[in-house]
Structure 1
Amino acid sequence: MQLLTPEQMGQADQMAAASGIDSHRLMMKAGEAVSAAVLRRFPAAVRMVVLCGPGNNGGDGYIAAKALFEAGCNVSIYHFGDLANLKGDVAQAFNACPVKPQPLAAYAPKANDVVVDALFGAGLTRSLDPAVQSLILNLRKAGSNVVAVDLPSGISGGTGAALGTAVTASHTITFMRPKPGHFLLPGREHCGTLETFDIGIPQRILTSVAGNTYLNEPSLWKAHLPATSIQSHKFKRGHLTVFSGGHGTTGAARLSATAGLKAGAGLVTLATPSNACTEATAHLTAIMLREINNVRELSHWLEDKRLSAFVLGPGFGIGEKARDYTNLLAGNPVVLDADGITSFAESPDRLFYSLSKHPTTFVLTPHEGEFARLFPDIHSDKSLGKLEKARAAASRSNAVVLYKGADTVITAPDGRAAINANAPPWLATAGSGDVLSGIIGSLLAQEMPPFEAACAGAWLHGAAGQNAGEGLSAEDLPNGLPKYSQIS
């Protein structure tokens, strides 16, 4: 599913009108979709309250209020702004509405109200008026059910940021395509459940204005998933190497290796220094062991061209050894995570220069702190949302960047981006990220392109968390991975 920014959706609206499509008719369809959703979800509501702003979002609200009134509901409208300034489609919707609006300040929320938030849509770029913010706080105190039109007022459609106090809806209705702000935090928490209605803008117009931002769903990468055949053997399914730290620090790498095996790699080897071989051997069965102590030994082992992909970072240790290994691996499919990323905190340009000399083969998987260490200026730029930050990081590093979190964002140097939204909150547990690295490494070993491998890995990781259930530990996740043949 392609996601449209508010600017792109506005452009689509303009192109639809220019092509001869009646813009007021589009507004009517939007408002009627809102009323239908409200009636479906709250058929026994005592009072429907519609809050209308001065723009097109308010126009949707007036039409929804008219439809609810005609359905026999007890409807009240409260408006923000000067009604004398309404123009175009919004004025037409207001004039056709049989319910007389009252000023917003006159509304006193009640717990049993069903409130339609049609104050401000996805294009909001500034904090709400103090009077509106005060009303929002009163809505929260009253515990009213809120249905948001397009996006809860106070949430940025482009970044998901809360622009001051924002409405928290139990349900959000948007039109034609969702916006990034529906899935990026904190916007996603404010939206409640989300419905997208087709109001009649042609697909050709949406396609022409769309960029390259997607919701991370199987349709984005399923065609690249590994497929086995009767002629498959272990080397055809890829050989993944996971680098381990020394004695007492092998656990994270073992989690990655186990995940890599469960995710389909034909062979997985744990590359460990000699002082951790006995410890690692005690925990390994199907995973192989290779003693690698230094760059010379790694360089010799890399002469084996059957090695397909690598994971470096989980529990590896921070320092020059990690930097040297990374430089030697440049040009190969690699997941660089955890200590591998932090090892370049003092010299990120050294990593970027190494990666710039090759096609994009690396996947960087930083969490918030690691991202800040590797890209400090990008991270501190308050003008950028998470999506823009991840895009800037991918462009700078010539790597696919998987910016972890409850709203994981995956970006490629060519500008493609996906927002992952299927991860349950109980994935926030120690070792979960190590499992994610192993899944992505396994997909790289099986020749998935880096962007698709990162997107698939994030989605599979979320699905595994759902299957394992609340209270999971990282060890449970590999067994929760869905079968590729059952992904639709």
Structure 2
Amino acid sequence: MRAAHTVAQIRAAEAALMARLPEGALMQRAATGLAHAVVDLLGGGYGRRVVLLVGPGDNGGDALYAGALLARRGAAVEAWLLGDRAHEGGLAALRAAGGVVTAPRPLRKGSVDVVVDGILGIGGRPGLPARVAEALVPISPSIPMVAVDVPSGVDVDTGELAGMAVRADLTITFGTHKLAHLADPAARCCGVVHLVDLGLDLPPAPVEALQAADVARLLPRPAPDAQKYGRGVVGLRTGSARYPGAALLSTAGAGTGLAGMVRYVGSAADVVKQHHPEVVGEGQVQAWVVGSGTDADAADQLAAALADGVPVVIDADALAHLTGPVPGAVLTPHAGELAAMLGEQREDIEARPLHHVREAAARYGCVVLLKGRRTLVASPDGPVRINTTGTPWLATAGAGDVLAGLVGSLLAAGLGPLDAASVGAWLHGAAATLASRDGPLTATRAAQALPEVMRELPS
């Protein structure tokens, strides 16, 4: 599990560790990890040209000490001092190693090999001071940017942006991931995130991201003596005469073999059974999926699913008919649907997704899966899980129908709502990446790739 901690949690853990270490040892660990990462990025140190953007805090100290290490390996290192002060020990180390302090200037492609952002750390406020922003504007975006801990200008604890922020190609972070590394829109500024372990003793994290090993551990697998009813039965109340494709796609997501049986109840029954002959009709289920493409039938189908007293995945058209808490359910809105549910503007949902998914989980008393580039899964009283699998090609019609069916099958197979939603999001994104192979994708192809993704999970 990839864990992301708050600034307060990190500060407390760092203070506890520094009390047991010689003075400055923690900064030296961080600087060494940063320098090694820069060398790996550049394929060596000798002859490379490095510019350090140095702020007044410990991030500036990390950058200066790392610059000293790079200078000793033969790199030409210059530092731009962008604060009202600089870390004295780090500055002395840089100068002793042959590094220099210069004034900011325009940097064009080919003039330097890498720029290191050590301006603001995890205690920095969102946005950049005017003086800093003025220095950054003439730096060509074609020059690789490495951020120290977090890109300067992001809100570390919320993942939000306020004004200008550094956009890094690589972020070297220390001790643990921060919320801004996982949550959009700040995560889009981080590029690839590399963690340097500092040996911190940390409490449970409020935000986490499943990894392949976590999904393999959680994935329901049939026992040697399994039979179809014991493996779970998922029911679908999806599609309509106007949108029969939604019924087909939700059935494709549900019918991946995770549950023992799929039942379909709806006005698209004939077309579903034509394409999925293994699907049966009405009967007892362990979970329902309702709403995808149900059009005018949405309210009635939602009421029927909720009356059954089993876990329910509520998607698309059915979301508009929620009137209060639905414990045990999984809601699967995109940003526009969540905006309508919360009485907000879509732009605000996209600017503050972590805040709003938590608000929705509390208001509706259930798990909420907010679809997006980084899908978020929140429960009323637990951590938020942020999904990091997927591809931009997954932004295609019908993908959400497949996801709803997949999550429903995981619920029917025995996973709790938080695990079902977060495992479903991970598998859905991984299947899309596999099926896409960096090219155009349809929802049907993503559904077809799901079994292969599951077969490739670590044992």
TM-score by length of 1: 0.85
Give the match for residue 242 of structure 1.
236
Instruction: Choose which of 328, 345, 368 in structure 1 pairs with 2:335.
Output: 368
Cα deviation digits, residues 262-285 of structure 1 (max 9, x gap)? 142111111014xx4444443331
Aligned partner of residue 138 in structure 1, secondary structure: coil
Q: Secondary structure at the match of 1:282?
A: helix
Identity of aligned residues (%): 32
Structure 1 residue 384: Cα displacement:
8.5
Indicate the residue corresponding to 2:7 in structure 1: 6
Matches within 5 A, 1:251-330: 251-273=245-267, 276-290=268-282, 304=284, 307-318=285-296, 320-329=299-308
CA positional deviation for 1:309: 0.7
Given that 2:402 and 2:447 are in contact with CA atoms closer than 8 Å, whether structure 1 keeps it comes out as: yes
Cα offset, 1:326, TM superposition: 4.9
Deviation per residue, 1:349-374 (Å, 9 max, x gap) = x232xx2xxxx421111100111111
Contact 1:79 1:101 (C-alpha < 8 Å) held by counterparts:
no
Q: Larger deviation: 64-73 or 45-54? A: 45-54
Q: Deviation of residue 249 (structure 1)?
A: 1.9
**What is the CA–CA distance in structure 2 between the aligned matches of 1:11 and 1:67, rounded to whole Å?**
28
CA distance in 2, matches of 1:412, 1:312: 20
CA shift at 1:101, angstroms?
A: 5.2
* TM-superposed deviation, 1:60: 0.2
Distance 2:339 2:232 in 1: 33
User: Aligned-pair distance for 1:214?
Assistant: 0.7
Q: Distance in 2 between matches of 1:462 and 1:383?
A: 19
Tell me which stretches of 4 or more aligned residues in structure 1 moved more than 6 Å: 378-384
Instruction: Give the counterpart letter for 2:10 in structure 1.
Output: M
Q: What is the alpha-carbon distance in structure 1 between the residues aligned to residue 443 and residue 348 of structure 2?
A: 33
Query: Are residues 226 and 10 of structure 1, via their aligned partners in 2, closer, same or farther at CA, if it must alter by over 3 Å?
Result: same
Contact 2:18/2:26 (CA < 8 Å) preserved in 1? no
Q: What one-letter code is carried by the residue in structure 2 that aligns with 1:69?
A: A
Q: 1:326-405, aligned counterparts within 5 Å?
A: 326-329=305-308, 331-344=309-322, 350-352=323-325, 355=326, 360-376=327-343, 385-405=352-372
1:427 lines up with 2:394 in the alignment: yes
Residue 89 of structure 2 is matched in structure 1 by: 92
Structure 1 residues 287-330: Cα deviation after superposition (integer angstroms, max 9, x where no partner)? 2234xxxxxxxxxx5xx4xx11100010112554245335424x
Query: Contact 1:258–1:287 (CA<8 Å) still a contact in 2?
Result: no
Residue 144 of structure 1 corresponds to 143
Matched letter for residue 442 of structure 1:
S
SS of the residue corresponding to residue 93 of structure 1 reads helix
The DSSP-based 3-state class of the residue aligned with 1:272 is coil
Of 64, 76, 80, which residue of structure 2 is paired with 1:62? 64
1:109 aligns with 2:82: no
Say what the alpha-carbon RMSD is for the aligned residues. 2.4
Indicate how the Cα distance of structure 1 residues 369 and 484 shifts in structure 2: closer, same or farther if over 3 A, else same. same
Asked if the contact 1:263/1:443 (under 8 Å) is kept, the reply is: no
Given the superposition, is the C-alpha separation of residues 277 and 41 from structure 1 closer, same or farther in structure 2, using an over 3 Å criterion? closer
Aligned length: 447
- Per the alignment, do residues 263 and 185 of structure 1 end up closer, same or farther by CA in structure 2, a change over 3 Å counting? farther
Alpha-carbon distance, 1:71 to partner: 0.9
Q: Which moved more, 1:414-423 or 1:126-135?
A: 126-135
Whether contact under 8 Å (2:249, 2:401) holds in the other structure is: yes
Match in the other structure for 1:154: 153
Any unmatched runs of 5+ in structure 1? 291-300, 345-349
Q: Which runs of 5+ in 2 are unaligned?
A: none
Distance 1:10 1:282, change over 3 A: same
Aligned to 2:79: 77
Distance in 2, Cα, partners of 1:125 & 1:409: 24
Once the 2 structures are TM-superposed, how far is the Cα of residue 120 of structure 1 from its aligned partner?
1.1
Rounded to whole Å, the distance in 2 between the matches of 1:464 and 1:382 is 26
